[in-house]
Amino acid sequence: MNLRSVHQMEISLKKGDIAFRIHGSSQSLLGAERLVLNVMQRMSAIATLTHKYVKALEGLPTKVLDTRKTTPLIRFLEKEAVRIGGGVNHRMGLYDMIMLKDNHIDFAGGIAEAIQLTRKYLSKEKLDLKIEIETRDLIEVKEVLKVGNIQRIMLDNFSYSDLTTAVKLIEGKYETEASGGINLDTVRHYAECGVDYVSVGALTHSVHNMDLSLKAI
């Protein structure tokens, strides 16, 4: 079985269940035990937490996104765990999608300038990358709509009311992503505002490892 097919299976385990049985020499098993368990504990926790968010959105079209707030050197594994849990991977790095955040916009001199400079850069470098832009209020959403030339609008730390209004203003012209302080208690409320995605950094940056152990039988 490969990782790409695991997410198609839903297997529920409870405390005390045996997840795997492995065979080999005692030297080999004990030599690999700690590394394997450390990875399994973290990735299992990420996949499980992601699954809880996905289940909380059951019946809604909104997808759960991860972020780049991952552990150094093991981003691929953590993002794979999110995917196995039923979530959707955001960009892996700075190379597969352009994200214009508040600092970029401020340094560029405004929303219009940031988008224009980005488009100019992509054209010059002959790159075909999607652009997502962060907005902090409804005024900025309206500015983005005037300029266009992007693919997704991030609605950062919006209230439910403003989020609903923003989605109506955008009218499906661009993908929408709610972000900022979203947790299991609030994720469905954000999704019900009509956004395409909710991004949850806590899936990878705040998860607590599961307690797994290897026992000889």
Residue 106 lies in a domain: yes
* Measured distance CA(109)–CA(37) in Å, rounded: 49
* Residue 125, in any domain of the structure: yes
Alpha-carbon gap, residue 48 to 28, rounded angstroms:
29
Domain that holds residue 40: 32-205
Q: Is the pLDDT of residue 212 over 90?
A: no
Q: Annotated catalytic residue: which of 52, 68, 75, 101?
A: 101
Provide the β-strand partners of residue 63: 197
Which of 4, 34, 120, 173 is an active site residue? 34
Looking at the domain assignment, is residue 6 inside a domain?
no
Mean pLDDT for the stretch of residues 144-162 = 97
**pLDDT higher than 60, residue 160:** yes
What is the C-alpha separation between 131 and 128, in angstroms, rounded? Answer: 10
- Clarify whether 101 is annotated catalytic: yes
12 within some domain: no
Which pLDDT value is given to residue 1? 42
Per-residue pLDDT tens digits for 126-147 = 999 999 999 999 999 999 999 9
| Known catalytic membership, residue 124 | no
Q: How confident is the model at residue 17 (pLDDT cuts 50, 70, 90)?
A: confident
136 is catalytic: no
Q: For the residues 149-154, what does the mean pLDDT come to?
A: 97
SS3 content of the chain, % helix, strand, coil (to 5): 45, 10, 45
Mean per-residue pLDDT of the chain: 92
> Considering the domain boundaries, does residue 38 fall inside one?
yes
Active-site residue identified among 66, 80, 156, 177: 156
Q: Give the Cα separation of 54 and 93 in Å (integer).
A: 23
**CATH number, domain with residue 116:** 3.20.20.70
* pLDDT, greater one: 159 or 9: 159
Q: List the alpha helices (DSSP H) in 57-199.
A: 75-84, 102-108, 111-124, 138-147, 160-170, 187-191
Q: Which of 66, 80, 132, 134 is catalytic?
A: 134
In a domain, 1, yes or no: no
Total H helices, total E strands in the chain: 9, 6
In a domain, 3, yes or no: no
In a domain, 87, yes or no: yes
In tens, the pLDDT along 164-198 reads: 999 999 999 999 999 999 999 999 999 999 999 99
pLDDT tens by residue, 81-129: 999 999 999 999 989 999 999 999 999 999 999 999 999 999 999 999 9
- pLDDT beyond 60 at 48: yes
pLDDT score for 10? 60
Query: Amino acid letter at 168?
Result: K
Q: Is the distance from CB of 50 to CB of 64 less than 8 angstroms?
A: yes
| Residue 156 DSSP SS3 | strand
Predicted confidence at residue 9, as pLDDT, reads 58
Give me the number of domains the chain comprises: 1
Residue 7: pLDDT over 80: no
